[in-house]
Structure 1
Amino acid sequence: MNYLELSIEFEDLNAFVDVLKQELADLGFEAFVDSENGFSAYISSLEFSENKVSSLLQNHNDLIHTYTLKEHPYENWNEKWESSFDPVVISSTCVIRASFHKEFGYDYEIIIDPEMSFGTGHHETTRLMSSYLLDNPPQNKDVLDFGSGTGVLSILSEKLKANYISSVEIDKLAVSNAIKNGKINNCKKIKFIHGSGESIPNMAYDLILANINKNTIMSQWDYLLKVSNENTSIVLSGFYEQDLSDLIQFSSRSGLIPLYSSLENNWAILILKYAKNEA
């Protein structure tokens, strides 16, 4: 089975990029890789509709500088990922690496064998979320990792002694990869789930992690609230600094207040608690 690579460059990188990724995902694109001026999106040749994709890109013609479409044999992807995947050092105690990398001897080594799916730890938001977990270990907590990608945050949560983790991801290829990564890391407490908000198990979580874009956070918000309680911490990332005020205002309508936020290269993380439990 061949895969198609759609490479898009923009005149100006902004929050619209994440909106377009979601629209492409709705058309069957399974994975996205950021570049300096845009991103590449990947889809099975069996799922690709030239008319639908062309129509979508035409609708956003004023924001897109250029795009190209290439076809690649599927079997070449793992080799391509391996050649470009470097270990990611999160802290002096944590590294994200592949099984073909040497051991670092760190307390927490997350092994992610790269396939054509998002979540190798190179993105700023994955590093922000990982750093949060290291600073606030979810020991004995039930964790929801919503938009879990290849399972990096779920795996780190288990290594940090979480009680149970629901790992929910809409990208089928990423879920398949996450299951493999869970096995590589000898994970026993993670349930990997393909789906979106309606697929979240009906239970109350102590910690909710959502590393997704602003629009998806807002559209799936009620599902996250449904599985939270007054003691739940909600940690959001996957959005830009300029989106912080909107998300703080949006979440305040549900009785949540910001504990703090942090930035890396214009990407943000926001930690929320219910108002009466802000201490």
Structure 2
Amino acid sequence: MFDCPFLTRAEAIETNKVTPYFADSLGSLKGLTCHDLSFSCISDFLLCSLALEALPLRELILQDCFNYTYHGISYLLSKCRFLQLLDLQDAKFLNDQRINELSVYLADLVSINVSGCYQLTYSSFFALLRNFHLLAEIRMESTNIGNGSKPSVDLDSVVYHQVKSLHLAKNLLFKRCLNIKHLNFAFCSWANLFSINHEASKLEVLNLSHSRIDNRALYAISKICPRLLQLDLEHCYYVTEKGVRQVVENCIHLREINLRSCRKVSTNVVSWMIFSRPSLKKVAAPPHFRPRDNDRKPLFRRCLVC
């Protein structure tokens, strides 16, 4: 038995076999709020044992675990009604129906990872948005988004303000939409769009305002999206002049760029952008921009600066 009554976090990563003794010992950890069993061989017996102990779990991480089934995880979640983080990456048994069933138990969920669950489609994605009102982070990489029935609601009339981080790379959604031209990831902490390689190469309008995008990601955009016409970076606090220059140099058709409230972007970049990229027709300048007198007429003749 574990003699650690005040322990709140337990990790048993890459364990080949979780024994009944280990499962029984968890019963002494009455204050356990986080349990990480990533890459381990676990069983329904272990999950049911955890459920019977009524531990105050807030985080359950079963990333790439194997040898357990839907029965075990369903029973555990039915007893852990206050989970905030759930990681079931690579749980191959999960499907759209089961995601709907599990949502009944997870009213407090803030973050979920179901990447690699290849049976999950559009239906699961919108079920997560609809049923988990506190959900801020969704990881559904390498799933089957792009297949399945789309929601009957008008998506333009529904806004999910709670979602801040969205990871949807390596999905059929983007492989099927080869001609996609408009994407809006405003207010996303990190939208993992840019690991999609060249599947967004026809993108023309991209809104990343109020996101955590940085120079590295901007460089990826400039290489992946050479046809970009409009880029919105308003309130992107991690972007600097270097990232902006890379985009302007590589996106040779760029017409509009919004740099409002980009605090780390130098005002000097505005003149450089306009003279370097003749296609630019509108620039929303970073804070404190004031054109020099000798630049004012040439600037305003070429481009609208606001």
Shared fold (TM-score greater than 0.5)?
no
> What TM-score, normalized by structure 1, do the two folds share?
0.32
- Higher strand proportion (structure 1 or 2): 1
Q: Which has the higher contact order (CA 8 A, sep 6+)?
A: 1
